[in-house]
Amino acid sequence: MRILISSLLIIFALVLVSSRVSAEPLLIEVGGVRGDVFLKRPGKEILEPLNLGDTLSPGDLISTGVGARAQIFFKDGAFLNLSENARLMISLYIYAKEPSGRKLGIRLYAGSLRVVAATRTVGTSSILVETDYASIRTSFSDFIVSEDDASTEVYVFKNALLLRNLSAIATDKVQLKSGYWSRVDDKKEPLKSKVITSKSRRQLLASTNL
């Protein structure tokens, strides 16, 4: 009888733990897809279609086709919007219960990316986006990064970020504040920041919105 009761208690405990685990919010989840969007997992050569609700992990490579869009949600409330013809890898994500402890790393290879991590933080939160030419670092912000074969452009809509060229030759850094943009060309210092026009703002947001 005691063995039966013990067995039942163990089964109950396992079911309870399982239900709690399954109830936990996913760390990185696809929040929206439009058009042809593909995923390449680390160590795999095959591209698989990316669908609403799919889970992602650091090392995953996401690409969008012509006219396509994608949105990626993170457990701490941050999210990414990808434009058409974009390609990026989530290189790092460390979740903390408070956004102040978040660590997020992204490598953008092509296209445009909107990063929205707008919760004000006072801790060690770190968001890093790298392209072929630029490094963008902030703790919280709302900004768009556009990458092409010759340069990287960065547009800030909230808070501020630090922009620099990845080349050791160009050592200057630019602090971009809300409402300003700049560009980084190969082995050149970032351009002096300029005001984002209302027209440009509308076009930029439209290029990444679902």
Q: Note whether residue 12 is domain-resident.
A: no
**Domain count for the chain:** 1
Residue 14 lies in a domain: no
Residue 4 falls inside a structural domain? no
Instruction: Supply the range of the domain harboring residue 134.
Output: 26-208
Among candidate residues 173, 168, 206, 204, the one with its CA nearest the CA of residue 187: 168
In a domain, 17, yes or no: no
For the entire predicted model, the pTM comes to: 0.84
pLDDT tens track for 43-101: 998 999 999 999 999 999 999 999 999 999 999 889 999 999 999 999 999 987 776 67
| Residue pLDDT, tens place only, 155-178 | 999 999 999 998 878 778 899 999
User: Does some domain include residue 115?
Assistant: yes
Is 119 inside a domain boundary? yes
Q: For residue 157, give the CATH number of its domain.
A: 2.60.120.1440
